[in-house]
Chain A
């Protein structure tokens, strides 16, 4: 029985950061990632009728986004034309024998593993931020992730510095609790 509903008006506030974080680690370009997220929302609007409510809104949007990312890479590859494969490990006597060393994976190179863990952690943080009240989440993001000045945030939300620190304190406490349950 369908239990999830769809509300496009809240998509940007609820899911844009989560989807953006998911995308940027895959495309490594802020602008492209932003475009893909926006395209995902547009595609979501068009196929709203197909939403059965069996999965959550976010899961459904992620499935659309995955297709958008694949399309993006297909487009890049078709622009490039044929894939170029260059293997040239013969003929040069000076470098003969180096190929084996170059081809063996470096056991100390843990970048891929580290990236994966960072991505998962990033998504876990977004999950936890999604559970905060909207204003608290926005202020916490601006202060902690985007690095805005206290003064700038106070002006934006028309609050005093004391209010801001109370909000930050509540958000940090909730975030620590949530991450303790889901990550640490």
Chain B
């Protein structure tokens, strides 16, 4: 989804910018557009609040995962064991 050149964006566009912003991938112009929308749109404000809370929670959890490549190795070994 591309954002338009207008300063006033739709709710959907604002949500899209908000998502990108959680990963530090929104441009300055996009952040300004989001902030303008946040001033007058309750729905965007609620979405943004919830989205930020999710990001903070995940950061706080210090969660760990196994990399995709390692999972492939594990799957291969498991299948080897299964076929024995």
Quick check: which of A69-77, A91-99, A160-168 contacts chain B, the rest being far away? A160-168
CB distance from A86 to the nearest CB of B (A): 32
Q: How many residues of A contact B (CB 8 A)?
A: 44
Do B81 and A42 touch (CB < 8 A)?
Answer: yes
Contact with B along A3-42 (1 / 0, CB 8 A): 0000011011100110011001000001001100110011
List chain A residues, Cβ under 8 A from B75: 12
> Are B64 and A11 in contact (CB-based, < 8 A)?
no
When the two chains form their complex, are residues A165 and B20 in contact, meaning their CB atoms are under 8 A apart?
Answer: yes
User: SS class of chain B's interface: helix, strand, loop or mixed?
Assistant: helix
> Interface segment, A50-58, A60-68, A140-148?
A140-148
Closest to B76 in A: A12
Where the two chains meet, the residues of A that have a C-beta atom closer than 8 Å to any C-beta of B are: 8-9, 11-13, 16-17, 20-21, 24, 30, 33-34, 37-38, 41-42, 45, 118, 121-122, 125-126, 138, 141-146, 150, 156, 162, 165-166, 168-169, 172, 175-176, 179-180, 183-184
